[in-house]
Amino acid sequence: MNSIIQERTVGGRKLLAVFAHPDDETFICGGTLAKYAAEGTEITLVSATRGEMGRRMGNPPYLNRETIAAARERELREACDCLGISRLHFLNIRDKTVEFIDEAHLTARIEALIAETQPDVVLTFHEKLGGHPDHCAIGKLTTEAFRRSGCKGSLFFISFGNTMENPERFGYTRGDIAKIDVSAHLEAKLAAFRAHRCQSEIDEWVWLPDEEALSRFGAYEYFIKGDHSVPLRDAGDLFQTNAAQTL
Ligand SMILES: [Zn+2]
């Protein structure tokens, strides 16, 4: 605990991201993670699974159900290096089974991680807009864990591409959406895409010359505020209160 307090007094910010699979962090919000890491934020990434049931097995396929978990873990560690994520934790849940795990038990595990990490920002999936049963399940339980924990930080849900340019379609307003400029961090995002080789090598654009590949990325990544009642102080920043104020 002492080390946490000490880091906060020198302005250290902490972000905890709780996702389902290796590559969620890179493919969905890699630019934002790279940006905050570059600014000195300590980032802890939690991956519920090792993605071992993924249908992509390399191109041409060179992995099988026995070898894919280790390969994806290795690739995730490399992607973390590309993005500047310093801490990686697996929940060791079997891929495609997150929705079937005992909810109270898993929520308590995530709550313990929040208590240990003391994050200023928590990122996870939206429980209805996650797009995959594992995503929705980990989002739902992380949201519950965040609320139970009494965490003073902010909760945000990640979103896909630029869908939240029109938040009204999903029952939100512009005031609920953080829009992060990641244009200075797209090289790191591309490197992380390439680190997730067994998943990304079938996507030809990822392997085009850098300039061409980088042009496929949007300049912004979008996040939904997890608490409707508190308006965003700054829509361009996930850190709504600075570290000194949270002491
Ligand atoms: Zn995923």
Å from CA of 135 to ligand 1 middle: 6
CA 130 to centroid of ligand 1, rounded, Å: 9
pLDDT over threshold 60, residue 221:
yes
What is the Å distance from ligand 1's center to 33 Cα? 16
pLDDT at 238 over 70: yes
How far apart are the CA of 242 and the centre of ligand 1, in A?
30
**Cα 96 to middle of ligand 1, angstroms:** 10
Pair of tokens at residue 47: 């991956």
What pLDDT, on the 0 to 100 scale, is given for residue 230? Answer: 74
What is the model's pLDDT at position 91? Answer: 98
The arithmetic mean of pLDDT across residues 50-74, rounded, is: 96
* pLDDT at residue 243 greater than cutoff 50: no
Confidence of residue 229 (pLDDT cuts 50, 70, 90): confident
What's the mean pLDDT in 44-55? 97
pLDDT greater than 70 at residue 1: no
For the segment 139-195, what is each residue's pLDDT rounded down to a tens digit? Answer: 999 999 999 999 999 999 999 999 999 999 999 999 999 999 999 999 999 999 999
Instruction: Give the whole-angstrom CA distance, residue 10 versus residue 209.
Output: 41
Superfamily of domain 15-246: LmbE-like (3.40.50.10320)
Q: 220 alpha carbon to ligand 1 midpoint, in Å?
A: 20
Inform me whether the pLDDT recorded for 13 exceeds 80.
Answer: yes
pTM beyond 0.75? yes
Output the CA 22–ligand 1 centroid distance in Å: 7
Mean pLDDT over residues 56-78, rounded?
Answer: 97
